[in-house]
Amino acid sequence: MKALQTLTPYLRPYRAGILQGLVLVIVSNALNLAVPFFIKQGIDALDDPGEAATAPLRYAMLVVVVALLGGVARYGMRELLNGISRRVEYDLRNDFFRHLLRMDPGFFGSVQTGDIMSRATNDIQAVRMAAGPAYMYLVNTVVISILALSLMFWIDPRLTLLALIPMVLLPPVTVGFGKAIHSRFERIQDQFGILSTVVQENLAGARIVKAYTQEGAQVERFRSLSHNYLERNLELARVSGMFHPFLGLLGGLGMVIVLWIGGMSVMRGTLTVGDFIAFGLYLGMLVWPLIALGWVVNLFQRGAASMARLNRIFAAEPSITDPPHPTGPEVVSGEIELRNVSFRYPGTERWVLRNVSFHVPAGATLAIVGPTGSGKSTLVNLLVRMYDPTEGEVRLDGTALHRFPLERLRALIGIVPQDPFLFSDTIRENLALGFDEPNLEAREARVRHAARIAQLDTTVAELPAGYDTRLGERGINLSGGQKQRATLARALARDPRLLILDDALSAVDTHTEWEILHGLREVFEGRTSVIVSHRVKAVMDADLIVVLDAGEVAEQGTHTELLAGDGLYAALQHRQLLAEDLDAEDVLAPARNDL
């Protein structure tokens, strides 16, 4: 239950509304408890000949009026308190999403997407139920218990004490069942996170599942996990199913005592019929809150379990944050320098980069090449400060990257990732994602200019809705090459100071890649550009080429210098030229056979 204490900041802005709602809880219960009193008065008035003719109608009218007023008060309390719980849910979900966007890639590498989605939906919903209905019914139970018990004591103190004897078992029963519900609900939410992850992976990888004919295996896997989820829910249902009847049993035992002892008192004349009926009604009003208390405990335990899961996410802090005293030049020219940079991913021992050093003047083009797994993409992650170096420094215009404010640093960079990602929105909105231009005409001109440079304009022209074409999830209705060109256009539309292409054209053919890079020459002018590619032909015009091998700089220099050095770069070019020749021979072979 301590986990719910973190809800206090979310409840505080609505304290006036909460107070009004709780006042209405008291008022509605007070009005409802007046009904048995008026019934008692009406029944007892039948013994008075002077009142017998008019009293029943008078008290009946009072019962109707009080019931109507109680209904209005109860509507007001539900409207206020349940409405506030929805606002708390809204604030909590927004903060949760905002916190997720602060986290670094290392966090998302350790937490499954399905588990995050489970917390963002089911857990926040469970917390909302605890923040609204649970508190409302808890206060309702406390108020009606105090008022009903007071009136019962006023009618017959001895009978009240006897009726409460079964209630002695209430505290230990509530605590025991509460713990059982809490632990079981937490296990249910954990399993639901696993189930959500499997669904998310299968939907995102539907093509792979079909290509490898794994539909049956994945259905069986889902069935097994779903069965586990069902068993955990049934286990909770069994516990909850015993809890509510047990509370009802305790209330029923109290009613048996009242019928027995109270009935005898009526026969002896020590208790009026009106008092006996009112006492029974008050006990009935007391029994329902006791049964509702089981539901309230259930809600609180579910909410506490879910809030604990949310708190574990909120407690995680990104390793990449703004510096306490940010610095950096007023105007960034784009000079890049790496000084003895070494890096290994958090929680691992293997060095991905080792003693990497090079210097790129402002406005120059840097190319990074090397075999698969040599550390090229990791180096890009350091340049955009997705990670900080384990050792050494990455500098921009002479200032270490970790000294820049994150928002300003990333506003200077346009990156085209190796794995293109597009949002489920129009092509126009995807390309305009990285900049804020209030003038619609200027915004449109930037989008179209960037698309033309990335050679995406012809593709867009062939689409029925043009730039208003809405893309599917992750741009699924575009080919791999079209998605890469779209992400390239998005980066270009931002007009960044530092442009990074992380093997961004691997899905297009060599000729198209050369045409795009040739068209980018004007874009490269006046800004620092970084090209990561496995194709030597794509980087031969770069001002500096850094060749990585096993995380270390094997060699660096211009295309001519590296060929003259006859090292790894020259070997890469030789292999790629040979592969191109072999491909050309394969294409011409059928024509030769026809001669």
322-342 per-position pLDDT tens digit: 888 888 788 888 899 999 999
Q: Region 414-421: what's the mean pLDDT?
A: 84
CB count, 10 Å around CB of 486? 25
Residue ranges of domains in the chain = 7-315, 336-591
For 362-395, write each residue's pLDDT tens digit: 989 999 998 888 888 899 999 988 899 999 999 9
Q: Which residues contact 492 (CB under 8 A, 6 or more apart)?
A: 414, 449, 450, 453, 454, 499, 523
CATH class of 7-315: mainly alpha
Average the pLDDT over each of 58-67, 169-178, 497-506, 537-546 and give the range with the smallest value. 169-178
- Fold: same for 7-315 and 336-591: no
Mean pLDDT of the chain: 82
Over residues 92-106, the pLDDT tens digits come to: 999 999 998 888 888
Q: pLDDT (tens digit, 9 = 90+) per residue, 203-222?
A: 777 767 776 677 888 888 88
Q: What is the pLDDT of residues 109-133, one digit of tens each?
A: 788 777 888 888 888 888 888 888 8
Distances (CA, A) of 407 to 374, 380, 385, 498, 504: 29, 17, 11, 14, 23
pLDDT digits 0-9 by tens, 574-586:
887 776 666 555 5
Residues present in the chain in total = 595
Looking at the predicted structure, is the pLDDT value of residue 188 above 80? yes
Rounded Cα–Cα distance for residues 511 and 520 (Å): 14
Q: What pLDDT is recorded for position 361? A: 92
* Mean per-residue pLDDT, 192-211: 76
Q: For 552-565, how does the pLDDT look when each residue is reduced to its tens digit (9 = 90+)? A: 999 999 988 888 88
For domain 336-591, give the fold: Rossmann fold (3.40.50)
pLDDT for position 586: 56
Q: How far apart are CA 17 and CA 377, in angstroms?
A: 53
DSSP state of 353: E
pLDDT in the model for residue 583: 58
Cβ-based burial of 331 (10 A; exposed 0-12, middle 13-18, buried ≥19):
exposed
Q: What is the mean pLDDT of residues 520-528?
A: 79
Task: Write out the H or E segment, with its range, that includes residue 282.
Answer: helix 273-315
Contact predicate 106/346, CB 8 Å = yes
Token representation of residue 463: 């689409």
Q: What is the pLDDT of residues 250-286, one digit of tens each?
A: 767 777 877 787 778 777 777 777 777 777 777 777 7
User: In the block, which residue shows the tokens 């539900």?
Assistant: 78
Angle in degrees, CA 224, 226, 227, rounded to 5: 65
d(CA 439, CA 169): 71
